[in-house]
A and B are shown apart, each in its own frame.
Chain A
Amino acid sequence: MLENALFYIFSALIVGCALAMVVSRNLVRSALFMAATFLGMALIFLLLHAEYLAVVQIMVYVGAISILFVFGIMLTKHDRVEDTNGFNRYALAAAVVGLGVFALLARAVVVSSAALLRAAAGAAAAGASAVEAAGAVATGSGSATAVAAAAVAGAAATGAAQSPVASPAAWNSAAAISGVMLGPLALPLEASALLLLAALVGAIVMGKGTRKNR
């Protein structure tokens, strides 16, 4: 119950701040609303039991990227800060297209999740009846495996549909992620380190400028 209330509060915060970021005509306000949106995303990650990602989100997005944006705004001169963030002539068309895409995506999600729930309910009912039927005729030793298989099938069908993965109390998302990162994903991790290095060098070279333009 508390989770539901928190989810709706956080979603309202995120969507409201994101809309304010797009609508605002003041670039500094847009940057502040963007930071608030990222903070709300970190709270949603906490709801999803992704504690490590929530902390990374706060450190990287709220702490680094937002500050980088503020520096970018500061280093480019603007005459009147109230009118730094205007719209171009595609504003109305883009709003219509965005609403249409959102409607399509939301409809796809709702329809497919309803279908998934129906299928899971049917499979669970079939599994339960199979359990009962197999239990009723279970006289020999061979039918015990059939009972177990049917029960597993029913449980898997219900579990795959909607219910979250039951996370144990001692679940540590950082430890689990590090196990993946240093195991099967070690090569992509190294590649991303190279990418960050290249981005660092590129940003410095480009930001420094040529001698003439400095």
Chain B
Amino acid sequence: MIGLDHYLVLAAALFCIGFVGAVVKRNAIAVLMGIELMLNAVNLNLVAFDRFGPHGAPLGQSFAVFIIAVAAAEVAVALAIILTLYRRRSNTRVDDLDMLKW
């Protein structure tokens, strides 16, 4: 029988893969993909706790909907920032983006 722990382990695996993807990549767009994967893992946790938790209103699923909305907003703004950076620096490598370094 598939229980809560199976879903939690799957979410942990996804989160760690997303973390590694966000840390090791050189391209800013790929870093953003890793962050999306981490957000999705959190969604899976919320829905699993909602399913296996106590009865009542589906608060976990509602929180997941909010996270999806925030993730969509985040992607739109981040890609706009990346496009602007590309116009100025003509590449999207995160190693080169050290303008804020004093």
CB distance from A199 to the nearest CB of B (A): 3
* A144 located at the interface, meaning its Cβ lies under 8 Å from any Cβ of chain B in the complex: no
Chain A residues numbered 157-214 whose CB sits less than 8 Å from any CB in chain B = 160, 162-165, 173, 176-177, 179-181, 183-185, 188, 192, 195-196, 198-200, 202-204, 206-207, 209, 213
The total number of A-B Cβ pairs within 8 Å is: 240
> Most chain-B Cβ atoms within 10 A of its Cβ — which of A18, A203, A204?
A18
Question: Contacts A164-B51, A165-B51 hold; do A101 and B29 have CB atoms under 8 A apart?
Answer: no
Q: Contacts of A31 on B, CB cut-off 8 Å?
A: 33
CB distance from B52 to the nearest CB of A (A): 5
Asked if A57 and B68 make an inter-chain contact with CB atoms under 8 angstroms apart, the answer reads yes
Q: Contacts of B24 on A, CB cut-off 8 Å?
A: 22, 87-88, 90-91, 94-95
Asked if A14 and B10 make an inter-chain contact with CB atoms under 8 angstroms apart, the answer reads yes
Asked if B2 and A84 make an inter-chain contact with CB atoms under 8 angstroms apart, the answer reads no
Main secondary structure of the interface of A (DSSP, over half): helix
Q: Contacts of B76 on A, CB cut-off 8 Å?
A: 68, 199-200, 203
- 15 more A-B contacts (CB under 8 A) besides A22-B34, A98-B19, A180-B58? A4-B1, A18-B17, A19-B17, A48-B47, A60-B68, A61-B71, A86-B27, A94-B20, A109-B8, A164-B52, A165-B53, A199-B72, A199-B74, A204-B80, A213-B84
Seen from chain B, the residues whose Cβ lies within 8 Å of a Cβ on chain A are: 1-10, 12-21, 23-27, 29-30, 32-34, 36-37, 40, 43-44, 47-48, 50-55, 57-59, 61-62, 64-66, 68-77, 79-84, 86-88, 90-92, 94-95
